[in-house]
Structure formats: structure tokens, C-alpha cells
């Protein structure tokens, strides 16, 4: 691994110290993402963490979920 890509993170305050190695993920995306691409990626991350996707297109759909 290229050591230039690896970053050492550290945070210190009066009560604790946090230290961690961080390696950025390799992505083939362009520098900028569209809002739609960001939204799709965010939803996919939430679903991978166990959240369920609920398609809400109007107030009635939201009422069904909240009841």
C-alpha cells in the first residue's frame, strides 16, 4: 500500500485520546457527484446497515408509515 494514501487520525481532549489508521477507499467516481448519485449512495449505505427503504410520494404514504 502507498503510505501517502494512509492517514493517521488522532484526537485528544482532557479525558481521552482517540487514535486510528484511516485508509481512503478507492473510488472510480468523478470528482463531483450529482445530487441523485449522492442520494442513491446514501440510501444504499442505510440499507446495508439494516434500514428499510420506504418510497413516499405523498402525504398519505407518510401517514401509512407513521400509523
Domain-embedded: residue 67: yes
Cell reading at 52: 428499510
Domain-embedded: residue 25: no
Domain-embedded: residue 19: no
pTM above 0.85, yes or no: no
- Coil, helix or strand for 17? strand
Residue closest to 38 by CA, chosen among 27, 23, 52, 51: 27
What would the pLDDT profile of 3-43 be if each residue is shown by its tens digit?
555 556 677 788 887 777 777 777 766 678 899 999 999 99
Number of domains in the chain: 1
Domain-embedded: residue 59: yes
- What b/e sequence results for 9-48 when a residue is b if at least 16 CB atoms lie within 10 Å of its CB, and e otherwise? eeeeeeeeeeeeeeeeeeeeeeeeeeeeeeeeeeeeeeee
Most distant CA atoms of the chain, gap in Å = 53
In which domain, by residue range, is 44 found? Answer: 34-67
Amino acid at each position: 500500500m502507498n503510505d501517502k494514501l494512509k492517514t493517521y487520525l488522532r484526537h485528544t481532549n482532557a479525558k481521552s485520546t482517540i487514535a486510528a489508521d484511516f485508509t481512503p477507499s478507492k473510488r472510480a467516481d468523478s470528482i463531483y457527484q450529482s445530487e441523485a448519485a449522492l442520494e442513491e449512495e446514501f440510501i444504499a449505505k442505510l440499507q446495508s446497515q439494516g434500514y428499510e427503504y420506504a418510497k413516499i410520494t405523498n402525504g398519505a404514504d407518510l401517514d401509512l408509515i407513521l400509523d
